[in-house]
Structure 1
């Protein structure tokens, strides 16, 4: 259960500069006040499970910095600081490193000049670490990560993010040790062979990015068909507003680093 049972989470307050956040398609300018309200609800959901949540100050110099997941991979044995594939986000990882060092005995870093990898492309299961190649994560980044976590006993498997999809986890999330929530377009690639797959409802692909956090499945609000499927399957579901983060390609997993550190 180490892939979905956590004692800690790190979040970061959204900055006023979020209006300049990266996005694949312009669907409107995020409303900061609404985003802050949604963010507060998100943190409350994490804390309701008994987890300690560190809420970092906003960083105006980094419009996308609310999406802390992309900066690191947090495992029980240690943290690995990422090297984001978006040039404007490289500094975010460096800013996160000291916070991780305060909680972990071991912090490693992706350092290759040609290596790029973001946490949004990484799905850790009970069996392996799946890393999706995307516009933000390349083969060199995947290979370097595999070397960094090998002595911790992890196997990294490279898979591929569908064309036009920002991150691997845009289209999938972990529900439990054996079960993945996924869009059909991603699961059809065969990347989840050997797992049980629950498909998001047709037309509700945008809710594939959820998180399993202790006893909760935290999903974006507004996707009733998929919510009903999850509830029927026995999951305890909490919905959080995501209208503003969605405008800059963000979802539930993007907003936190989730971990149980062992020093």
Structure 2
């Protein structure tokens, strides 16, 4: 179950500059103290599974740097450093690379000058890597990633993120080897044929971004009907506040890189 059982995670403390982070719609500036409290709860949840969590210091020069998932794709065989589609975030990937090299025997990198890809658009399952084309991930980025992971035995399938949705995983997350949590609008595209899909409750689409981490599903607080669906399906949930990260289009998966290093 290498797609959801891990020994390690990397997180980064939210910088004070996070209040100026990117957002598709301005719903107000995040409360930094509350954001950091939620982040501490998140780290504690990861640690509670027995994983080693590397907590990196804040990067004030990069307001969005707490969303470390966008900087890399971590696989059992090695890591791929991404090339974020937001110009202000390019430096974040460079900051992450040495930490990955300290943990992995092999680290590769997206290098094409016209290629862009962010980890938030990548859903790794037991059988494939789904990559959603979006405003932050283009065809060149998907093609380069496909080449980089081919000799590791991974197949990449390109899918498409719904209009107006920032990242593919804004609307979906992996629950186990056979099961995806997804919004109805994303599932309607047919991209999850062959998987069991649990839909978010109507009006609770914002909770589609959860993460399965070992025996826990880390789930954003405030979405009771979807929470109850997952509990009824037998998942162990840990609800974590996400109100402040949500103001920056961030969710549960965005806040960590999760892996078992080679």
Q: Give the TM-score range, shorter chain.
A: over 0.9
Partner of 1:211: 211
SS in 2 for 1:173: strand
Provide, for residues 116-148 of structure 1, a one-character-per-residue CA deviation record: whole Å limited to 9, x for no partner: 000000000001000000000000000000000
Compute the displacement of 1:76 (Å): 0.7
Indicate whether 1:40 and 2:40 are aligned: yes
Structure 2 gaps, min length 5: none
RMSD: 0.3
Distance 2:49 2:163 in 1: 36
Distance 2:19 2:155 in 1: 38
Compute the displacement of 1:233 (Å): 0.2
Compute the displacement of 1:93 (Å): 0.1
Distance 1:133 1:44 in 2: 32
Provide, for residues 67-89 of structure 1, a one-character-per-residue CA deviation record: whole Å limited to 9, x for no partner: 00000000010000000000000
Q: How many residues align?
A: 262
Partner of 1:88: 88
Provide, for residues 215-235 of structure 1, a one-character-per-residue CA deviation record: whole Å limited to 9, x for no partner: 000010000000000000000
Distance 1:217 1:204 in 2: 17
Compute the displacement of 1:175 (Å): 0.2
Partner of 2:259: 259
Distance 1:29 1:144 in 2: 36
SS in 2 for 1:141: helix
Q: TM-score, normalised by structure 1?
A: 0.99
Compute the displacement of 1:251 (Å): 0.2
Partner of 1:166: 166
Partner of 1:231: 231
Please show how residues 20-59 of structure 1 align to structure 2 within 5 Å.
20-59=20-59
Compute the displacement of 1:194 (Å): 0.5
Partner of 2:6: 6
Compute the displacement of 1:91 (Å): 0.2
SS in 1 for 2:143: helix
Distance 2:127 2:79 in 1: 18
Distance 1:184 1:59 in 2: 36
Partner of 1:62: 62
Compute the displacement of 1:11 (Å): 0.1
Compute the displacement of 1:163 (Å): 0.2
Compute the displacement of 1:59 (Å): 0.3
Distance 2:245 2:119 in 1: 17
Partner of 1:242: 242
Q: Which runs of 4+ in 1 moved over 4 A?
A: none
